[in-house]
Each structure stands twice: as C-alpha cells, then as structure tokens.
Structure 1
Amino acid sequence: MNEAGFRTAPIQAAEPLIELRDVGKTYGGAVPVEVLRGISLAIYPGEFVAIMGASGSGKSTLMNILGCLDRPSRGQYRFAGRDVSEFGRDELARLRRDEFGFVFQSYNLIAAATAMENVEVPAIYAGLVPEERRARSAELLGRLGLEERLDHRPNQLSGGQQQRVSIARALMNGGRIILADEPTGALDTRSGADVMALLASLADGGHTVILITHDKEVAQHARRLIEIRDGRIVSDTGPEPRRTTGGPALPAPHGGSAQTSLLDESAEAAKMAVRALRSNIFRTVLTLLGIMIGVASVVAMLAVGEGAKQQVAQRIGSLGSNLLMIRPGAPNERTGEGGTIATLIPDDADAIVQEIPNVIAAVPERSGSVTLRLGNRDYQTTASATSPDLPTVRNWPVQSGSFFTREDQDAQATVAVLGQTVAKNLFGESDPLGSFVLVKNVPFQVVGVMSPKGASPGGGDQDDTIIVPITSGGLRLFGERFVRMITVAAEDVGQIAQTEADIRTILTKRHGREDFQIRNMASFIEAVNATQQTLSILLASIASISLLVGGIGIMNIMLMSVTERTREIGIRMATGASTRNILQQFLTEAVVVAAFGGTFGVMLGFAAGFAIQAAGLPLQFTLSPVLMAFGCAVLTGVVFGFAPALKAARLDPVAALSAE
C-alpha cells in the first residue's frame, strides 16, 4: 500500500523512463489554486498507461507536466534519470521534439497546412532535409490509411482522419512516448475504436503510451490504470510485469542521414511565412501598401533630386568649374542694369594671361541688347563682344563655320557668330554662313553658328545671342572700350585659390585700388552641390516617413498574427520548436512582407519616376538609392518585426495551446 492507501504492483528492476516525486502544481492569482497535490509516479518503457479522472481532477495538468509543456511548482520530475528542472526552454523543446509525441483531443492541426505538411512539422525542427521529411511523412500517413489524403487540409478531413494525422505527427520523430489527451473525445464510436486500436498497436510495438481520459471504457484499453481525483492519485494498478516486445512498428528516424543547413532552415521558414501570409491575403496586401508607398517615395524622390542636381551641375558645368569671373566695381558696389562701372578694360585680360602662369585664357566680355535686321525682318537679342578664346573657356564649340580669329579682333572686323536661337529665328532652315546681318544698322558677316548651349543657371537662353569681336563690338555697337566681365580659365583647379590671389594683386596694382570683384566658380559649384545634397537628403527624409509608417503596419500585422496564431505557436512548441525556431519563423514573416513590399515599391517608384519624367521634370535613376530603399525596407521588417517575434517566442506552451 502507498501513502494514498491504494495497492501498487512491485516496481520493476529497470530504471523508470518517467518518474515524479511529490510533484505539486499551484496556479497563482488573487486566490492561488492548488491543482496537483503531491503526485508520485513511475512509468517504465513500453507501458500503456491510462490516467483517468473527472474534469477538474488535474489529469490535463499532469499530462502537461509529463510532456514538459509545463513545470511543477514543487517536487521533482526525472526523465530517464535526469532532473527536468535543470533543463532550459530550448532543452525542453529538444526533449519534446525527440522523445514525445502529442495526440490532442482537438487534433491541433495547422489549418493552412496539408496533412503531409502537418506531419512534417516535428521533423523540420529536428533538422531533417525536405526529401527525407516528405518520404517519412508519406510513409506514416500511408500506414495509417491516409495515402489518398496527403494533400488535403484539415477542413477537408473527417475527425477520425484528422486524429490519424495527429498520431502520424506524434510519430514523425520517433515518439518514444505518446501522450494522448482525450484522443476519442471528439470522435464518433467507430472512429474512436479505430484510434484506440491504433494506440494499442503502438504500445505493442514498443512505444510508451500515456492516455489521458475521463471515460472508464476508453481507459480499459490500457494495461495500467491510474485514477486521479482532486489532484491526488487515488488508485494505481501498478507497472505491468516486464515483457519482451518487438521493435517499434513505426521506426524512429532520429536524426536522419542528412541535416538541414542554416540556408535550408531559412528557406523553410520563408515557405511557412508565405503560406501564413497567403492565408490572410487582404490584410497582407494592406500591409504591403505601406512599405510599397514608402519605398516608391524614396526611389522616386531621390531620382528627382538626383535629376535636378545633374541638371544644375550640367548648366554650371557649361560655365566651367575652373573659372574665375571678374566683374567691375569694388566689393561693396553692385553693377546696375542702367550702365557700366568703368574699371575693367580688355588690356586687363591680356595682363592676366601674360603675368600669371596658371591661366589658360582670359576672356573679356561686353554685352547688351541689340536689334538685328535681315531683309525686312527685325529680331531683338543680346550681342556679346568677346575674344576668340570664348569657345575654349566656355566649352562651347562651333557647330558650323568657324569662330572669329585674333586677326579679326585686331583688325576690328565686322564678323559675327550666331547662337542657335538667333540662327533659327532669322534664317529658319537656310544656311546663314556668309550672309550679312545688320546689328544696330552695322552690317556684320556671319562666319559661324554655335552648337546648342541650352538654358543658363539663371534660366536664360544662352543660344539667343550674337557674338562679335571685343574690338568691333566696343567701337561699333556699344561705343565704349570698358568690359562688364573678364572670365579667366585656370589650368590647375587645385591652384585656383592662388590664381585668384595673383589676379587680385595684379589688377589692384594696375588700377591703384581694388575696384573689381572676383567670383570663384569652383567654390560656387561646391556650394550648389552642397545645397542639392541637402535637398536630396530632405526629400529622402520626407519619403522615409512613409517607410516608417509601413514599418508600423508590419508591427501591427505581426502582433495580430501572433494573437490569432497563438494556438499554432503552442502546437509548434509541443512538436519541438525552440525559442530560436519561433523567433526565426515570425521574424522571417516580417522580412518576407518587407521584401515583397520593397520589390513592388521599387517597381512602383520606377513607374512614378517615368511618369514624372514624362511631365518634363529632370530625373536620374541610380543604383544606390534603389538598393538603399530596398535595404531599408528589409531592415524595417527586421526592426519592427522583432518585438512581435520575440513575444511569440516567449509564449508559454501550455498557455498557447489553451488559447482560443
């Protein structure tokens, strides 16, 4: 007789597989509830045990402790001689994966997975490669009479068939111990009898079967009967005498010939993620929209910013980054539109070229509004009087004919070169070379036509001009020899600051005072580029707000997914999923959503960009912003998916399985 007063059979000499010593379980709260009260129990390999009791007797709590889904509040649980209290979460997960197989009353199958996929779940966490998993799953289902139902989902199977799938899953990794919780409770009489016969055959084949039931008739199928009431064992027929059994009817794979790599694990997690997301496609699409809009905004806005930057750079670059612009007037004076400050003359340009070694050319310029006449047609434009070095300094080649020469300048020849706009407006499709055009009633012969230059940085049309020698223009058109600007081209941009200082010294010496201003175009271009860079960052920051909103959407959907799939998480934990497995699963789902959203967002960004380009705005797609936007989308999935994934990984298996 034991302490509870019931008879026990002599204990076998073999070491118990499962041993409980004075185990108790109390659930906390405002009023603590003691569910198990000093349970002591030994179960030996190969036994078929039924634990019977009414609702509320503690039998389900006992099963959860036996199956390492829950921990006792006190006492000791030893498995194969080891104290289970010393096991961490992941060690318990491995124990459930390798040693236990659970058969639940409500089947606890994953609704979105097929029969084969449900059976494969434990093997996924055991590390079997897909080919071995599928072969093993098909074999088990075939032996259980479900060879025609391999690709059916749970809602396409009867209750008995679902329970057989549950049993096959329990045996996937070997299932040395089968824990069956009310396995016939949801079945009709015939299906229930079939399931009990199957469990009996598993016990005969060498499995240790522990049956939890309230039905005495079902319990009679077992060879050992334990009755529990009010958290105590009130009767135990005791361990059955040792007997010789055959090998397991359904042999355990235990490890298989090949184990999955990290890449295989990630691929499997991605596959399960896609399946889970597909099960609620509408909500997934709404979440994708947030990421798509964010990525598309980043791609399109950065392309617009880069296009604007390139356009401005091209316009400024047409002036040259190695240029120094000298204008008349002291630094505190400004040149007015009504006249010219008479401080710069063409001889100043000659002195700069002759005396400063880093200077390629110095081009004096004097411009003003003029009226051109060809036949009976008048045209208002700008005349620019300059030197023959203009095409070199401004990087502005002649398209047809030639530019005037230094001999033309010295001879004060009345020759002219037309910009594209003037040539088209005066001559249309005719060749203007050799023709004479009246400029302020002075005939000038056209000797060349410049190539298209486009708009200036200030927005004016650089092609709407007629260019004449500085001597001819000063004498015949403007009536003065002073110039409005001297453009200096430096040979080495790295020494342009020294060149600027040398020019200042020479002109101050020539004029007796500093009555001029120098603008360094290299510094100007740097300032413009810095401004454009700032604008690009601003545009990207604004677009990133959409990405942030998309990330919040991912967190929302993942938190909802964890809540809705709590029972599935419990199933995975019961079948051997470790903390890392669950964390990887839900984090992968977040990354998959973000990756899909990023991919479609990039496509949408290109489409939006081409639409903007069609509207006439400058656009420049580069690889870096695209990769950055996609990378940020994936990173958003990782960051915002981590908290929900961690929440899922930290769920208690028992609480997860009992969730509705």
Structure 2
Amino acid sequence: MVGAPLIELRAIWKSYGGRAAVDGGTAAPSVDVLRGVSLQIAAGEFVAIVGVSGSGKSTLMHIFGCLDRPSAGEYRFAGKDIANFNADELAWLRREAFGFVFQGYHLIATETARENVEIPAIYSGVPTQERAERSVALLSRLGLAGRLDHRPGQLSGGQQQRVSIGRALMNGGHILLADEPTGALDSRSGAEVMALLQELAAAGHTVILITHDREVAACAHRVIEIRDGEIVSDSGVAAGLGAGSRTTAPASLDAAAFIASMAEGVAHTASLFTDSREALRAAWRVLWINRFRTLLTLLGIIIGVASVIVMLAIGAGTEREVIAKMASFGTNRLYVTPGGDNTRGPGGTLSTADAQQVREVPNVTAATPFLQGHVTLRYSNVDVQTTLWSVTDEASRVLNWKPSCGTFFSADDERDLAAVVLLGKRVSEKLFGDADPVGHYVLVNNVPFEVIGELEEKGATSGDADDDNVVLTPFSTGSRRVVGTTNLSWISVLIDRLDLADETAKQIGDVLAASHLIRDFQVYNRAASVKAQTETQNTLTVMLGLIAAISLLVGGIGVMNIMLMTVRERTREIGIRMATGARQRDILRQFLTEATLVSGIGGVLGVAAGLLIGAALIAADVAAIFSVRAIAGAFACALLTGLVFGFMPARKAARLDPVVALASE
C-alpha cells in the first residue's frame, strides 16, 4: 500500500443483544455481527465491500462513518484511535471527512433539494451565501439545476439519490460511504449513479461502496467480500495493493494534515445568531407544514396567557374599586373614643382640648372632634328622625366628604355659632325629594337651621350604618344649641403615612394617657384595617393569577406532549442530521427552538386575546386594569414554559443513537 492507511480496522467485533435473565427467564444471547474484522484502506481508493444481506457489511459502514462504535477491537483513522474521540470530534469527522449515500436516500422531507444539500455546511458554519452558491453548483453538476426548490416527494428515485450525493460532497466528501446506492433504483438510474461514483473516485475521492451486487462491486478497483461477519476475500491483498488498486489522481484528503486541523475544526462553528436563525427557519417550516396540529398545541398557551392577563386585570380593577370605595370613607384614619378596656372602670370623657393635643402628635394631619346626637328634622309637614354630627370645618378633609351642591361650613360659622346644616343624601331626599335643598330652612329639634349644602352620596359603610342618613352642623352650634354638651363622642384623626399608623396610634395613646392620668379612652386603628383589607385584596389578585397560571401549565404539558410526538415522528430526520455532522447541542437547539417558537407564537396570540377580552369587559363596565408588567410577565412565562417543557423532548432527541435513529421508520 502506498503511504499510511487512512482507515485501519484491527480485530473489530460488533455484537448486539446479550441480556441477563429476568425473574428466572432465559438469558438473551448476544449476536456477533462482525467477527474480528481487520483491514486497511488508503486515501483515494475505490473499495467495494460485497456480501449477502445479514453479512455485516452495513454495520461495517456505520463503524467506518463513526455512526456506531465497535464492541471490541480498534478503529484507527489517519493513525488516531477513534475510541479516544469525544462526541464533538466524531461529529466533526462525519461532517468534514465523510459523506453518506444511503440506499433509502435519507433526505429530510420538509427541506428542498438545495436545503438538503446545504445541511452539512450549516453545521460547519459556512456563511449563507457561500453555501447557497456551493449547493447550486453541486446540484447543477449533478443535472438537477431545474430541481433546486423541489422537495424529495417531488423528485424521482434517481434524482433523490443525486441530491444525496450532492449532500455527501457539500463539505468536500473526501470519503464517500455508499450503502447500496443503486438498490432502490432502476437500471438506468443505477448506472448513472455508479458513473458518478466512478467519476468521483477518479477525481481522488475515497469511495467505499457497500453492495450485494457483484456486478456493481466490479466497478470498484478493490473488492472485499464479507460473509457472516468475517472477511473471506480481498482483491487488494491478492494484488498486493499495487497501482491497480489506486486511482492515478492524488487523494482529495491528506490524512495527516486533516487530523492536525481537527482541534481548530471542532472549535469553528457557526455563530449563535446564525445557528439560531437556521433553527428558527427549520422550526417554522415544520410547524407550518403541521399547522393544524400546531394550532391545537397553541390553544393551551393562548388560553393560559389570556387567562393570566384577564384575571390579573380584573383583580387589579377590583382592588382599585375597593380602595376607591374605602377612600370615600377615609383610609388614613384613626378614632379615639371615650371609655377604657375595662368595662368596670371609669367611663371617661373626651374634650376639644384632647383633640388639640392629638393634632400635635407627629404624622397627624388633622384631628376633628365629633359630637353625635339624635334629632328630629322638619320641613313643611315632613318629619325625619336622623343623626346629628357636630364637627369642625376640618371634617370635610378628614372624612373625605364634600358637598354635591352648596358649600361646607367655615371656621367663621364655627366661631359665630351659625345655625347652618348640611344634609346627607337620604335625609335630603326624605325632606325635599329631588328638589335642591340649599337655601331652605329646616327645624332641628324646633330650632331653625339654614341648609347650606347637600353631601355626596356614600352608601352603607357596614351593617345597618348609613352615612347618608346624617346631618352635619358646626361643633359650637350643635354642642350648645342642640345636644347641650361639649363632651365628645369621638375624635376622628387623619394621618399622613399609612405605614406609620401603628406607631402613631401608640403615640396618641401615650399623649392622652399622660394628660388624663388614666387610660379612660381607646384608640381604634382604622388605617391598619384598611391596610389589611388592601393586602387581602392583593392576595386575592395573586390567587386569581395563580389559578389562571394553571391553564398555562396545562398548555406547557401540551407542548411537551407534542414535542415528544414530534421527536418520535422525526427520529429518522435526527439520524440524518447526525450523519451529516450535527452535534448533540445542534439537535437540542433545534427542538428547543421549535418548542420556544410554539410558546412564543402562543404567547403573542394569548396577549392579543387577553387584550380583546379585557376590552370587551371594560365595554361591559367590568372593572379591569391592564398592567404592562403583567402582560410582559405572562408572555415571558409562556416562553419559559416552552423552554422548560420542551427541554426533556429536546434532550431525548439529542441523545438518540445515530444508527438507531437512521433505522427508524
């Protein structure tokens, strides 16, 4: 043999099966497909390995092409032991050194002829324009210039085999492994394919032809016969592997230089952008071809995202309404009432002086004395029993309660003991109906008072209490001319910062206790109650979001299910990609991209559906507030769902055995 061998097999064995006995059953014996095969092939040879079906020749080809590993023995490529190569180095060898021509063509059905040819170059990181030009040139050379954009189903068997040869030559095709390349072709197409292989061999390519047909094998320069996993004859050995076993053209592969460039070749791949773009293109093609199934998968994501957006919007809208309703009764409020915790202790009293002391406590914005009494109002021949609140002019701010018509009384009214009154909405309706009460006089316990305003409607606060069934007068007037006492019913306190409500309540208690020398009063922290109600509403909103997120989880399970089905359906495609040089991470990226693309499209459609549903709810007067953060979060969760639930199927695809994947139906 001239020069060092490119491929050398030393006592190669390959066995399948061999399973231990289970539960007393019979152990499955192993089957030896190859039995101590040893041979050498030099660069530039045209070798035919011939044998009947089951003789082990296809297994031998898989070992040659690094698709399978021997059970025992040593395979040396350019003097290097393949057993020491990692997965990426083996993928690089398949991509750069070998080109496979299969009997069944093994073209990817969703890709065009040109795209099928380009696959090895994609995994080599060849720029888009360069690989497009190369694939067109190869297909034109193979007589398929008019079939560039045809898919495999639109090509004849001979044309598909030419596409397979073009793919094998895309990255140089230094070593062509042809497994029964004419087995599925008619005689004319078969002759054309063999003529192509002879032409490539003459050009210096190393061609290893696997066939059962001795006439086809006779086209090779060297014929090796294999029977029952053993080599029984080798014409190269008989001829001493002289000039007759080699072509006159120099070999296309310099083995030593090729191995020397391995480290650089393995490190050189396409950029992340290029890889991602190709993965997206292939993913979109597959999803579009199976668009009905894709749509069904999308529904789960769409419903999940839309549910999250709508539920959170309704929760936020409801929360705003609750807060607005509470704000109408004053949110940052504390109450001081007479009487201690001990019912047997002194009753205690509160005075306007106490209200003044409370005003001076830090974080207190206002402190209004309240004196409550029950009175009879009369207008014309109508009498109404109602509640009278005697308050200062600060009450409007403390209670967050303004007149709907007329004005609130002023500090001058308070100083002058003005006989003026503001009517609650229900009192006004009972006395005046729909008429404007401002300017009219009513009798309050037979004392004439001028109506200067009607208060805004508030509605019931709790239980039977109704703030609209009250009337308000200046504190000086009510205490002296109606109720007859200045002892307060309570003090209403407005605070600035809600987060300091507990501290402020304690300080008020300390100040009054120091003044009274006894704790004959109580401080009620309504602000804390409002805060608790707000936190409760927030919790309910979160619960609504979590309930809606269950829909998104169900959608994610749907994605995982469809991806598992896709891996099962496309197992052969995975094997083809691995045979053409795809690494495990390339396969992982491909299927993760598909899962993420499904989730991303579902997320976009889910956001659109959620906004449309929300718009319809708003049009129907349902409180809903959309949050950009909630929308972005729902979309991000959809993408994350695709990644999480797509990872297991993608990893399963990446870990498939190339030989097993290629053999799948």
In structure 2, the residue matched to 1:245 is 249
Q: Residue deviations 1:183-203, cap 9 Å, x none? A: 111111111111111111111
Match of 1:529 among 515, 530, 534: 534
Q: Aligned to 2:582, what secondary structure does the other structure show?
A: coil
Contact 2:204 2:247 in 1 (8 A): no
* Alignment CA distance shift 1:166-1:378 (3 Å): farther
TM-aligned CA deviation for residue 342 of structure 1? 7.7
Match of 1:162 among 160, 177, 183: 160
In structure 1, the residue matched to 2:315 is 305
* Alignment CA distance shift 1:49-1:505 (3 Å): closer
In structure 2, the residue matched to 1:338 is none
* Alignment CA distance shift 1:226-1:319 (3 Å): same
Cα distance in 2 for residues equivalent to 1:406 and 1:468: 12
Cα distance in 1 for residues equivalent to 2:463 and 2:149: 70
Q: TM-score, normalised by structure 1?
A: 0.87
Query: Which amino acid counterpart does residue 88 of structure 1 have in structure 2?
Result: N
Q: TM-score, normalised by structure 2?
A: 0.86
TM-aligned CA deviation for residue 361 of structure 1? 2.5
Q: Aligned to 2:451, what secondary structure does the other structure show?
A: strand
* Alignment CA distance shift 1:295-1:309 (3 Å): same
Moved more, 572-581 or 503-512: 503-512
In structure 2, the residue matched to 1:22 is 11
Say whether residues 1:520 and 2:525 are aligned partners. Answer: yes
Unaligned stretches of 5+ residues in structure 1: 1-10, 335-340
Q: Aligned to 2:29, what secondary structure does the other structure show?
A: coil
Say whether residues 1:197 and 2:212 are aligned partners. Answer: no
TM-aligned CA deviation for residue 139 of structure 1? 1.8
Query: Which amino acid counterpart does residue 599 of structure 2 have in structure 1?
Result: A
Query: Which amino acid counterpart does residue 539 of structure 2 have in structure 1?
Result: T
* Alignment CA distance shift 1:582-1:491 (3 Å): closer
In structure 1, the residue matched to 2:422 is 417
TM-aligned CA deviation for residue 523 of structure 1? 2.5
Q: Residue deviations 1:567-626, cap 9 Å, x none? A: 111001000011111111112222222222222222222333334444444322222222
Query: Which amino acid counterpart does residue 138 of structure 2 have in structure 1?
Result: L
Cα distance in 2 for residues equivalent to 1:129 and 1:366: 87
In structure 1, the residue matched to 2:232 is 234
Moved more, 618-627 or 164-173: 618-627
Cα distance in 2 for residues equivalent to 1:606 and 1:125: 41
In structure 2, the residue matched to 1:5 is none
TM-aligned CA deviation for residue 155 of structure 1? 1.0
Contact 2:337 2:350 in 1 (8 A): no
Moved more, 53-62 or 43-52: 43-52
TM-aligned CA deviation for residue 401 of structure 1? 4.5
In structure 2, the residue matched to 1:47 is 45
In structure 1, the residue matched to 2:79 is 81
Query: Which amino acid counterpart does residue 234 of structure 1 have in structure 2?
Result: V
Q: Residue deviations 1:64-89, cap 9 Å, x none? A: 11111111111111111211111122
* Alignment CA distance shift 1:332-1:290 (3 Å): farther
Moved more, 41-50 or 319-328: 319-328
Query: Which amino acid counterpart does residue 210 of structure 1 have in structure 2?
Result: I
Q: Aligned to 2:146, what secondary structure does the other structure show?
A: coil
In structure 2, the residue matched to 1:325 is 335
In structure 2, the residue matched to 1:178 is 176
TM-aligned CA deviation for residue 52 of structure 1? 1.0
Q: Aligned to 2:4, what secondary structure does the other structure show?
A: coil
Query: Which amino acid counterpart does residue 206 of structure 2 have in structure 1?
Result: T
Contact 2:340 2:347 in 1 (8 A): no
Query: Which amino acid counterpart does residue 271 of structure 2 have in structure 1?
Result: S
Contact 1:399 1:451 in 2 (8 A): yes
In structure 2, the residue matched to 1:104 is 102
In structure 2, the residue matched to 1:211 is 209
Q: Residue deviations 1:94-113, cap 9 Å, x none? A: 11011111111111111111
Say whether residues 1:408 and 2:406 are aligned partners. Answer: no
* Alignment CA distance shift 1:100-1:352 (3 Å): same
Contact 1:364 1:386 in 2 (8 A): yes
Query: Which amino acid counterpart does residue 292 of structure 1 have in structure 2?
Result: I
Question: Which residues in structure 2 correspond to 1:425-574 (within 5 Å)?
Answer: 433-437=438-442, 443-448=448-453, 466-474=471-479, 481-490=486-495, 497=502, 499-508=504-513, 513-574=518-579
* Alignment CA distance shift 1:431-1:135 (3 Å): farther
Cα distance in 1 for residues equivalent to 2:410 and 2:350: 20
- Aligned Cα root-mean-square deviation (Å): 3.4
Query: Which amino acid counterpart does residue 301 of structure 2 have in structure 1?
Result: I
Say whether residues 1:363 and 2:368 are aligned partners. Answer: yes
Contact 2:355 2:491 in 1 (8 A): no
* Alignment CA distance shift 1:543-1:88 (3 Å): same
Unaligned stretches of 5+ residues in structure 2: 19-27, 259-263
* Alignment CA distance shift 1:647-1:410 (3 Å): same
* Alignment CA distance shift 1:89-1:491 (3 Å): closer
Say whether residues 1:581 and 2:570 are aligned partners. Answer: no
Match of 1:117 among 111, 115, 120: 115
Q: Residue deviations 1:497-525, cap 9 Å, x none? A: 55433432454466664343212244333
Contact 1:358 1:490 in 2 (8 A): yes
Contact 1:202 1:248 in 2 (8 A): no
Q: Aligned to 2:612, what secondary structure does the other structure show?
A: helix
In structure 2, the residue matched to 1:4 is none
In structure 2, the residue matched to 1:390 is 395
Percentage identity across paired residues of the two chains: 55
Match of 1:265 among 275, 292, 301: 275
* Alignment CA distance shift 1:374-1:224 (3 Å): farther
* Alignment CA distance shift 1:574-1:240 (3 Å): farther
TM-aligned CA deviation for residue 636 of structure 1? 1.9
In structure 2, the residue matched to 1:276 is 286
Query: Which amino acid counterpart does residue 310 of structure 1 have in structure 2?
Result: R
Cα distance in 2 for residues equivalent to 1:630 and 1:529: 27
Moved more, 308-317 or 436-445: 436-445
Cα distance in 2 for residues equivalent to 1:566 and 1:386: 83
Query: Which amino acid counterpart does residue 553 of structure 2 have in structure 1?
Result: L
Aligned residues: 638
